[in-house]
């Protein structure tokens, strides 16, 4: 099954139950707080899922939420409000103009999307110079390589939901995107992290 088809199938199954098993309201609020959004800014939620981030965004910013899975977007419609738009889109090939957003949100996306480097590069492409990306996700500690049996177990777990098998530093370096880490703090017991990445050039 092609990666996109598998992702859609998996999250179609999860969509009705996703909010019951993956909430993290305090972490979503903290991540968005770290963006320091100002009125009038345009915000992209990449991999918006059921729209769980929308209630934590200020009413005076424009929001576009994109996701690969129609079933997820259907759930997100319940959280629509003025100034928020939803569109089906592949996070690795965004049908959006360069430099068209002030900020982007990547919550629990880089750990699960195929080609996370490409996803991060696309997020950077659609940001204006100086734009920010809020990342909330779980990553392996930098420099740690799991044993072969552990990697096999993590890969098996990934077929059901998600595991911790990627390093943020590797993703950032491989993306080639003009991004710098402006903030990095632990979250949820240390496995998860809050990061703010800033676009350094046009």
Predicted local distance difference test score (pLDDT) of residue 162? 54
For the ranges 33-37, 66-70, 148-152, which has the lowest average pLDDT? 148-152
Summarize the confidence of residues 23-43 as an average pLDDT.
96
User: What are the pLDDT digits (tens) for 106-150?
Assistant: 999 998 888 999 999 999 999 999 999 999 999 888 665 655 655
**Better pLDDT: 37 or 162:** 37
**What band does 5 get if pLDDT is binned at 50, 70 and 90?**
low
**What band does 152 get if pLDDT is binned at 50, 70 and 90?**
low
**What band does 1 get if pLDDT is binned at 50, 70 and 90?**
very low
Averaged confidence pLDDT in the chain: 85
**Above 60 in pLDDT, residue 72?**
yes
User: What are the pLDDT digits (tens) for 75-85?
Assistant: 999 999 999 99
Cβ contacts of 80-85, under 8 Å, gap ≥ 24: 80/51, 80/54, 81/54, 83/59, 84/54, 84/57
**What band does 190 get if pLDDT is binned at 50, 70 and 90?**
confident
Summarize the confidence of residues 78-94 as an average pLDDT.
96
User: What are the pLDDT digits (tens) for 157-168?
Assistant: 554 555 567 899
- Decide if domain 3-199 falls under CATH 3.30.420.270: no
Backbone angles phi, psi at 35, to 5 degrees: -70, -25
Backbone angles phi, psi at 54, to 5 degrees: -55, -45
Sign of the torsion formed by the C-alpha atoms of 16, 20, 22 and 26: positive
Asked if 98 and 69 count as a contact pair (C-beta separation under 8 A), the reply is no
Summarize the confidence of residues 34-41 as an average pLDDT.
98
Instruction: Dig out the tokens for 199 from the structure.
Output: 């676009």
Strand stretches in the chain, DSSP E: 42-46, 62-67, 84-88, 101-107, 127-138, 179-187, 192-199
Summarize the confidence of residues 36-54 as an average pLDDT.
97
Predicted local distance difference test score (pLDDT) of residue 15? 47
Predicted local distance difference test score (pLDDT) of residue 188? 81
């Amino acid at each position: 099954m092609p990666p996109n088809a598998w992702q859609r199938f998996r999250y179609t199954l999860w969509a009705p139950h996703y909010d019951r098993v993956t909430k993290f309201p305090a972490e979503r609020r903290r991540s968005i707080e770290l963006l320091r959004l100002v009125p009038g800014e345009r915000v992209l939620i990449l991999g918006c899922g059921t729209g769980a981030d929308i209630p934590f965004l200020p009413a005076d910013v424009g929001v576009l939420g994109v996701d690969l899975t129609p079933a997820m977007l259907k759930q997100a419609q319940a959280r629509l409000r003025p100034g928020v738009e939803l569109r089906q889109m592949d996070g690795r090939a965004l049908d959006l103009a360069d430099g068209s957003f002030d900020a982007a949100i990547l919550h629990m996306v880089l750990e699960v999307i195929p080609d996370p480097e490409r996803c991060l590069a696309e997020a950077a492409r659609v940001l204006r110079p100086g734009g920010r990306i809020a990342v909330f996700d779980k990553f392996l500690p930098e420099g740690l390589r799991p044993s072969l049996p552990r990697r096999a177990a993590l890969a098996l777990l990934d077929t059901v939901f998600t595991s911790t098998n990627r390093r943020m530093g590797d993703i950032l370096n491989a993306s080639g995107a003009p991004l710098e880490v402006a903030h990095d703090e632990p979250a949820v017991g240390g496995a998860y992290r809050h990061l703010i990445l800033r676009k350094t050039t046009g």
